[in-house]
Amino acid sequence: MKVSLDSLDEEIKKELENFNAEVINAANDSFQETAKEAAEMLKKGGPYQERTGAYTKDWAVDKRGSRTSVVTGLNGYSVYNKKHYQLTHLLENGHQSRKGGRVKAFSHIAPVNEQLGEMVTGKIESKLRG
């Protein structure tokens, strides 16, 4: 592609805008895929013993709308438990029992969260490479 010296700055600007759009699209796709995978990982269960399976079935993904997404063009996603959201903190961190003792913490969200950071950066890099 030949570009005259007069239009060089416009061509560079166009190419940077195209690259920026590619990065945003790759990041948004990767965020959505990773959020869905996180919900699936949490649906597999954790180190806790569950009687009914209702807690593990209710993990879902929801797209968050915020000012940040308007400014940057990036979408945010929340992975949450639809019906048993009160249990997430209690299971993850433990709590005081009725008899005065402590109930053991079953860390099941933190390990998934740690894996997500590595997964999303790998996905974005692989999408940008082609």
Rounded to whole angstroms, the Cα distance separating 4 from 88 reads 60
Model confidence at 99, pLDDT cuts 50, 70, 90, reads: very high
Supply the mean pLDDT for the chain: 90
Q: What's the maximum distance between 2 C-alpha atoms anywhere in the chain?
A: 80
CB within 8 A of 51, min separation 6: which ones?
none
| Region 36-45 average pLDDT | 94
pLDDT at position 48 is 82
- What single-letter DSSP state applies at residue 91? H
* pTM over the 0.85 mark: no
100-108's contacts with Cβ under 8 Å and 24+ in sequence apart are: 106/46, 106/47, 106/48, 107/46, 107/47, 108/42, 108/45, 108/46, 108/47, 108/48
